[in-house]
Amino acid sequence: MTVNEQIAIEHGLKKDEYEKICKLLNRIPNITELGIFSAMWNEHCSYKSSRLHLKNLPTKGKQVIQGPGENAGVIDIGDNDAIVFKIESHNHPSFIEPYQGAATGVGGIMRDVFTMGARPIANLNSIHFGTPQNKKTKNLLRGVVHGIGGYGNCMGVPTIAGQTSFDSSYNGNILVNAMTLGLVKKNKIFYSKAAGLNKPVIYVGSKTGRDGIHGASMASASFDEKIEEKKPTVQVGDPFTEKLLLEACLELMAGESIIAIQDMGAAGLTSSSIEMASKGNLGIEINLNKVPCRETKMTPYEIMLSESQERMLIVLENGKEELAKKIFDKWNLDFAVIGKTTKSKKIELYFDNKQVANIPVNTLVENSPMYNRKWKKAKLPKKNKIKKEELNNLNIIDVLKKILSNPNVCSKEWIWQQYDHTVMGDTIQKPGGDSGVVRIHGTNKAVAASVDSSAVYCWAHPLTGGKQVVCESFRNLISVGAKPIAITNCLNFGSPENEENMGEFVECVQGIGEACEYLKFPVVSGNVSFYNQTKNLGIKPTPSIGGVGLLEDYQKMISMDFKELDNIILVIGKTEGHIDQSLFARNILDEKNGPPPEINLFNEKNNGETLLKLINKGYVKSAHDVSLGGILTAVSKMCIKGNKGIKIKKPKYLINEIEYFFSEDQGRYIVEIDKKALKMVTEILNENAVHYDELGTISPDELNIHDKTKVSIDELRTSNTNWLINFMSN
């Protein structure tokens, strides 16, 4: 096939990008070379629209061992232990083929983690679907959940936490973000930088097939009415093979054989070989005839662009080939020496004794496009004027029940019951709390992790929303007694070629950066997913934040369930009564306009760190951050979890009762305190200038609002649990 401009455009390249390729090569590329450029220069691999802005994120910290730029981030948790973690998107594949799309998303993120020498210890996910009324939503949800569970469960890795939301903006493009944590010794971390000349380049794992070709390019394009035609671009996963690959890689890593290792993810053999060569400032020569293939007559183009799963590329020390082969043979995996490192600084491919590609590595990486796209700054919306009489006419319990049964607040137990969260025996806080928590086996330490996003706030005002989602992650870790250390992010947006969408991205990233900087909560890894749209209709901006924190002593872990009768309940943080963009405003008042709640980073940090002091001193019995649905929603969930009630006393409201109970002011927590500790707790809160309200005391069986409004905990539980069960069973 003779390459021309039209063929380049069909590969997702722009006219000027094709011209640049021809200029860099000083010739027209052949079809294999064009395929390689299209893969490496697409949005998913090159970050050409986002690199400029991502550079501004804070990435360093006292406990950061490895920041962005590797397969995953790494943080130091003491005692020569480190946590490797990352979150990534698999949005487009999951919309096209939900089971395999979600499954291979989980498989891919786990490979990113164990590629670095870490054994995966926990999975999380952030999944977003269209409205329940949309005819595709139920099947997409079922397929995605089964795909996540099917892969993670087979791998024997617990899924400890997650987030699920529904919004009309996802009707044409769902989001599936998968996160994995792994544990590794600091002196056994592996990297992807190739080094040394004439070192053997090794292919291991599954055979290469035709599945997933153009998967990375597809992830950098909008959907249209031809979506069904894109099913062949979705990879097919095999978790049992990945389990074998994990064990084989870790066994080889126990020795001194590996120089560099890289998983074959997006763009497969293309991206893995080029990234290794680029980081090492050298070349790689590959004989494509030696690549194990499961299909006949595969072309160089197909071999290089296949995204078949469960594959790794390794640069070995000389003389270690036989040792490595024995290990992979033992685990019944393919092993092939397919090439070597060279001083050429080129990717040189051979097939049937002919050179089929010769590309300088720098043209694919350093010379890839980087765009400073035009973007529109978002204005802060004006506050809505809500009539007090409209609020006073509402029945608090009716409002509460409606909010508890809202798809975005209701119990997601139907989902997480399909995940194995107990395998490995170290999960000490299961899904459904503020954060999942796993013990570091054989120590007193535990690691907490959560994943959060807030598309509504980011849509209303991206800068504020970006700050908020980081703060939410910070609070969720604090709420279980963990010290927040670092985050990973998955930034899901519409087309960057749209100025409004690009503005949402730029300002969200700015907000994330400001919050991370202030909270000393650096970004160590992440992923950008653009073109989440069908035709010209994009999703709401959805940055997903995966936060990781450390408990030095897991016995000090806190859960959200109310513990003991007569204990005192405090609201930490000030309630101003911000209703705009709250779940109450959108679902009770049907008001979609207005600004999100303000973010005070000083209060976020001060309130959180003070609460952590109280937890470490043993004063706190339970805790839960106040987020979607406000105080009364948070309290109700604590009642349901603990099967206990609360007697709320007549508060000294400066605002309307409805506003107090359902507003979504930030930086707040609900905290359970033993009566005997109240004096010491309030002294510490006052010393640290932390605002608090005494809300009430724990009581049996019912939620009682100053003796005039009552509802049983069983009624609240029914409201909270039934919606999703009924939705999925009908």
Establish whether 90 is a catalytic residue. yes
Cα 492 to Cα 481: distance, rounded to the nearest angstrom: 29
Cα 632 to Cα 583: distance, rounded to the nearest angstrom: 12
The residue to which tokens 């004063």 are assigned: 619
Cα 606 to Cα 53: distance, rounded to the nearest angstrom: 29
C-alpha distances in angstroms, 195 versus 252, 283, 360? 18, 10, 17
Which is catalytic among the residues 44, 128, 214, 624? 44
Report helix, strand or coil for 305.
helix
Nearest Cα to Cα of residue 57 among 526, 494, 465, 497: 526
Structural contact between residues 124 and 147, judged by C-beta atoms closer than 8 angstroms:
no
Cα 591 to Cα 313: distance, rounded to the nearest angstrom: 53
Strand 64-66, strand 73-78: pairing = antiparallel
Strand stretches in 402-541, DSSP E: 427-429, 436-439, 446-452, 483-492, 523-529, 533-534, 537-538
DSSP states along 37-99 = HHHHTSHHHH-TTTHHHHTTS----TTEEE-BTBSSEEEEEETTEEEEEEEEE-HHHHHHSHH
Instruction: Kindly state the DSSP code that residue 26 receives in the 8-state scheme.
Output: T
Nearest Cα to Cα of residue 554 among 682, 446, 404: 446
DSSP states along 272-284 = HHHHHHHHHT-EE
Cα 669 to Cα 598: distance, rounded to the nearest angstrom: 16
| 3-state SS track over 184-232 | EEHHHCCCCCCCCCCCEEEEEECCECCCCCCHHHHCCCCECCCHHHHHH
Burial class of residue 180 (count of CB atoms within 10 Å of its CB; 0-12, 13-18, 19+): buried
Which is catalytic among the residues 11, 53, 90, 578? 90
Structural contact between residues 622 and 634, judged by C-beta atoms closer than 8 angstroms:
no
Q: What angle do CA 11, 16, 21 make, to 5 degrees?
A: 70
Establish whether 44 is a catalytic residue. yes
Cα 137 to Cα 143: distance, rounded to the nearest angstrom: 10
Cα 189 to Cα 115: distance, rounded to the nearest angstrom: 9
Structural contact between residues 116 and 139, judged by C-beta atoms closer than 8 angstroms:
no
Cα 401 to Cα 632: distance, rounded to the nearest angstrom: 10
Burial class of residue 555 (count of CB atoms within 10 Å of its CB; 0-12, 13-18, 19+): exposed
CB-based burial, 125-134: b 16+ in 10 Å, e otherwise = bbbbbbeeee
Residue 328: its H or E element: helix 321-330
Hey, which residues does 670 pair with through a beta bridge? 571, 624
End-to-end CA distance of the chain: 52
Token readout for 175 is 């989001």
Report helix, strand or coil for 384.
coil
CA gyration radius, the chain: 26
C-alpha distances in angstroms, 497 versus 42, 173, 255, 376, 563? 13, 17, 48, 12, 52
Token readout for 665 is 């002011």
Residues forming the active site = 44, 90
